[in-house]
Amino acid sequence: VIFALGVIGLAKRRLVEGLAAGAAILGAALATYLAAASVGMEGPESFSVDIISPVLSLNGLFRFQLFLDRLSAVMTFFVSVISAAIVVYSIGYMAEDESYVRYYGLITLFIGSMVGLVLAGNLVMLYLFWESVGLCSCLLIAHWCEKPEAAKAGVKAFVVTRFGDFALLTAIALLYLHVGSLDYPTLARGMASLPPNLLNLILLLALGGAIGKSAQLPLHVWLPDAMEGPTSVSALIHAATMVKAGVYLVARMDTLAVEYGGVAVGAISGFLNAVLFVGSVTALFAATMAVVAYDLKRVLAYSTISQLGYMFAAIGLTLFAGVEHSVWSALYHLTSHAVFKALLFMAAGAVIHAVGTRDMRRMGGLAGSMPVTFLGFTLGSLALAGVPPMNGFFSKDAVVGLALEAIGETPLPAALLLGGAILTAFYILRALYMTFLAPPREAAEHAHEAPVSMSGPVAFLTILTLLSPALYGELMGGGEGLRHALHFVPAHAAISLAAAGAGIALALLSYGAKLEALTALADTSPGRALREVLERGYYFDDLYIGVIVPIFRGLAQELLAGLDMAIDALVEIAGVGANKTADLLRRAHTGKLTHFFAASVLGLLLLLIASILGG
């Protein structure tokens, strides 16, 4: 509707903003009703609607199907509610933007595509919405396309995620080839009959798609650059849509295979170990890069990559804790992260809107001039650091607790996740201090609080950061997995809290007390070398640009040259064939009357014989 209004010239700003906000709020209300109706649901519900003829649907392959279970209901609720808050926030943040029709049209399509992906009842629908989510994110990242950096970031996101999308499409094709159906109930039953090696291969390919979408190692490089887009878009990508799609895909494949299909976890150990490894390593890996970043939005981007790693690790721990415990712990942290990361990005957007820069070295002293934003960012930071009573403490403790329980079988994930927790507390307290508590710099001198359309959603999410654990429990309606996810184990909590405390103490010593020993250590030759490695992102971009891109460019050039030769050859063959045919026809037409007469008689004889033989 918004795009249509833009085409016919009736898209006034207030009308477009009202339509977008109204649609988002209505979607949140419907999602709330859906989530409430699903409380206590014993099993999944599948609904199918034939929106095209059976012939065109290729024997039901392209059917519109919905699949509702606790996983999809809770995801839909949090996606819709967080998205609605972000759309309302956009009214203030994008107030001066002239391309508002394109912005609101894409952002509503973005939200709708994510909801469609979560509620999809078959892999074809999921993939179509998956691609729509990816396209919308790339276009929104490049919204300010007049800036070369934004345009490049949009293209980079599109290209990098292509690798994962191709892997997912291959997995879907293999499932259809071997199972014969892609709707979830049939697929779950079919997975149980697949050979373990084949099933692991298919699930690993699907994991490849999730790695690209959720910016996990080694396809993480697009997300930090995506910060060139509007901060409201960053909030939506990080909190409610794009990157959460990968986590949902892995959780969905895990539940389809193990919970609904009855596949033994040992049969898919290759897949689960890969998920656990990728998540655990990424959780620590991304946190190290956030430690040295000065761009406020890039700090939050690296933190998203890291926190998504915790969710992947939780799902991978299905191998040791069972599907219910692991998936619900991952979902618990996903919902908590959605709340506090949206809060952090909105608060960061308000700061950037006020001071005109993303460089934390030019900020400082904003606590007094932006009290609502300061409170929101502080509580969001404490949630990310894992400090009670914030939601992040309980959900991260659930994930770390799973790793600690499995420490006898596999100690590495627990070590990596705890290391990530220490660095997380350090870098977010560093960001909080440099932005709000440090002495004021030039950019912060005339800062003021954001308008109500921006500060209102910040206040709403600040409250939700405290209430979301209880809300999650109500929506889940009980169950052993939920009790485990919400279960408070004092020993686990003490270890998680100690990790957070260590990071906070290190940040206070480094920036609050300005401990000279730490400063001197950072200025040593090894310290500077380490900073260089971290600032360059472990040289992944250099590797891709210097090695991978030239390889693909060379292959593309060879392919293009081969296609040119093939097309030229086809044209040449067609020309030669036409000349040969013309030559034969020319020879048949001699111009002599006797030849014409003989041909006519022969034709009549052939017609007579054909009529006799035909009866």
Do both 515 and 559 map to the same domain? no
| Residue 435 structural domain | 2-535
Measured from the Cβ of residue 14, the count of other Cβ atoms closer than 10 Å reads 8
Do both 523 and 552 map to the same domain? no
Do both 523 and 602 map to the same domain? no
For residue range 247-261, list pLDDT tens digits in order.
999 999 999 999 999
- Domain boundary residue among 488, 506, 535? 535
Q: What percentage of the chain has pLDDT greater than the value 90?
A: 59
Helix (H) or strand (E) holding 344: helix 323-355
Do both 157 and 221 map to the same domain? yes
Average pLDDT over residues 489-505: 92
Distance CA 389, CA 383 (A): 8
Tokens of 360: 């934390």
Do 188 and 260 meet the contact criterion of CB atoms below 8 Å apart? yes
Average pLDDT over residues 544-567: 88
Q: Is the pLDDT of residue 97 over 70?
A: yes
- Domain boundary residue among 479, 501, 535? 535
For residue range 306-356, list pLDDT tens digits in order.
999 999 999 999 999 888 889 989 999 999 999 999 999 999 999 998 898
Do both 88 and 135 map to the same domain? yes
For residue range 351-401, list pLDDT tens digits in order.
998 898 999 988 988 998 899 999 999 999 999 999 998 999 999 999 999
Measured from the Cβ of residue 502, the count of other Cβ atoms closer than 10 Å reads 16
**CA 430 to chain centroid:** 26
Query: For tokens 């033989």, what's the residue?
Result: 613
Asked if the bond preceding 413 is cis, omega within 30° of 0, the reply is no
Do both 300 and 273 map to the same domain? yes
- Local confidence band at 476 (pLDDT 50, 70, 90 cut-offs): low
Do both 459 and 590 map to the same domain? no
pTM of the predicted model, to two decimals? 0.89
pLDDT score recorded for residue 591: 67
Do both 330 and 407 map to the same domain? yes
- Considering only 23-32, 462-471, 506-515, which range has the smallest mean pLDDT? 506-515
Do both 516 and 597 map to the same domain? no
Domain count within the chain: 2
Do both 529 and 556 map to the same domain? no
- Domain boundary residue among 508, 535, 562? 535
Give one DSSP letter per residue of 536-585, joined into a string. Answer: TGGGHHHHIIIIIHHHHHHHHHHHHHHHHHHHHHHHHHHHHHHHHHHHHH
Do both 462 and 599 map to the same domain? no
Do 211 and 328 meet the contact criterion of CB atoms below 8 Å apart? no
